Amino acid sequence: MQTGYYSAAAGMVTQFNRLDTIANNLANVNTAGFKQDNLVVGDFMRIYQEKRDELDLQNNTKEAAQFLNRTITRAPQIVDSYTNHSLGTLQNSSNTLDFAIAKEGLFFAVKTPQGVRLTRDGSFATNDEGTLVTKEGYPVLPSDYFKSQKKDNFIRIDSENSILEVDKNGQMYTNIPNTVNLTQASKLMIVQPDNIKLLKKEGDNLYIFADQKKINVLENSDAVRQGFVEKSNVNAVQMMTQLIETNRLVEMYQKAMRTQMDDMNMDAINKLARKA
C-alpha cells in the first residue's frame, strides 16, 4: 500500500475544505453582520493519541495502543470548526431603519417560513403593509412576540409617522400624526442565546438555535444603535494570506502525489525489470 500517496491525497482534500471556508469568508466581507468561520486542522495521529487509552483493545494497555499507533499514517484532516462572533466595525449609515448591536453575543429575532431565526444584520426596511422586514423580506419580531402568541404580531410602522426614534434598548418611539410629540411604539426583540456555540448558520445571514426556551429576551440590552450597521468581522488581509498559504499547500500535496506515483513507481518497475 502506498501510504504516502493516500496521506498526500487526504491532506489535499483538507486544504480544499479550507479553501471553501476562506472563499465564503471573502465573499461575505461586505455583508452586514456576517461572522467569520474558521477551521481547525489536525492529523489522525493527534486525534488517536487523545483517545488511544479508550480504544477497545484486547488487553487495553498502552503497549497495545503503541503497536497500533505505529501502523497509522499521519493524515491532516478537519478536526473542528467554529464561528468567530467578535464585534465588527459599526458604520454610520444615517438610515433611520438601520440598526446595529454594539455587544457580542446578542441578536435580532426574525420570523422565516422555517420558524424564528436570529441575525446580526440590522439593515431593515418596510414592506407594502408597513411591516419592518429584513432584506429578504422576513418580519422583524417585537420583544413581546413569544408572550402574545400571535402569529402576525410584527413591528409595523405607519407611513404617516414622519419621526422614528429608537433608544439603546430597542424601544421605538414615533410621532403622533401631524405633531412632533413622540409616543411609545413597538420594541425590537434583542435576544441572547444561553450558549452561543450551539448556533448554526442557515444562510441569508441567519442562525438557528434549536432550543428557543434557552434564548433570553433582554429588556435592557443597552446595545442598539440606530442609524448604524455592523460590518463583517472578516479580516480581508488575513483571509488573503490564508488563501495564498492554502493554495501553496495544495500545490505541495499535488507534487508529493505525482512524485509518489511517477518517480517511486518507475523506480520499482526498473528494479523489478533488472531482476527479471
pLDDT values of the chain reduced to their tens digit, one per residue, 276 residues = 466 677 777 788 888 999 999 999 999 999 999 999 998 877 655 555 555 555 555 555 565 555 555 545 566 777 788 899 999 999 999 899 999 999 999 999 999 999 899 999 999 999 988 899 999 999 999 999 988 767 778 999 887 777 889 999 999 999 887 777 888 899 999 999 988 988 999 988 999 988 777 789 999 999 999 999 999 999 999 999 999 999 998 888 888 888 777 776 676 677 666 665
CA 117 to chain centre: 14
C-alpha to C-alpha distance for 144 and 147, rounded to whole angstroms = 5
For residues 9 and 99, membership in a common domain is answered with no
The pLDDT score that the predictor gives to residue 44 is 57
For residues 149 and 223, membership in a common domain is answered with yes
Q: Between vectors from CA 74 to CA 68 and to CA 76, what angle results, nearest 5°?
A: 140
For residues 106 and 178, membership in a common domain is answered with yes
Q: Strand ranges (DSSP E) for the chain?
A: 37-43, 76-83, 90-92, 99-101, 107-112, 115-119, 125-126, 132-133, 164-166, 171-175, 182-187, 190-193, 200-203, 206-208, 215-218, 224-226, 228-230
For residues 221 and 110, membership in a common domain is answered with yes
The pairs formed by 167-172 with CB atoms below 8 angstroms and a separation of 24 or more are 167/224, 168/221, 168/222, 168/223, 168/224, 168/225, 169/218, 169/219, 169/220, 169/221, 169/222, 169/224, 170/99, 170/143, 170/221, 170/224
Q: Name the H helices within 99-210.
A: 145-148
Torsion of CA 14, 15, 17, 18, to 10 degrees: 120
Give the amino acid at 55. L
For residues 201 and 130, membership in a common domain is answered with yes
**Ramachandran category for residue 94: left, alpha or beta (phi over 0 → left; psi -120 to 50 → alpha):** left
For residues 98 and 78, membership in a common domain is answered with no
C-alpha to C-alpha distance for 134 and 152, rounded to whole angstroms = 16
Pairing, β 224-226 against β 99-101: antiparallel
* Cβ-proximal residues to 127 (8 Å cutoff; 6+ apart), any chain: 133, 137
What is the tally of structural domains in the chain? 2
For residues 119 and 46, membership in a common domain is answered with no
For residues 116 and 186, membership in a common domain is answered with yes
For residues 101 and 187, membership in a common domain is answered with yes
For residues 190 and 59, membership in a common domain is answered with no
The pLDDT score that the predictor gives to residue 201 is 92
**pTM listed for this prediction:** 0.78
Give the amino acid at 171. Q
Residue 106: domain span: 90-230
End-to-end CA distance of the chain: 22
**Ramachandran category for residue 105: left, alpha or beta (phi over 0 → left; psi -120 to 50 → alpha):** left
The pLDDT score that the predictor gives to residue 223 is 95
For residues 222 and 132, membership in a common domain is answered with yes
For residues 246 and 198, membership in a common domain is answered with no
C-alpha to C-alpha distance for 258 and 9, rounded to whole angstroms = 11
The pLDDT score that the predictor gives to residue 61 is 59
Give the amino acid at 23. A
| HSE-CB of 230 using CA atoms within 13 angstroms | 26
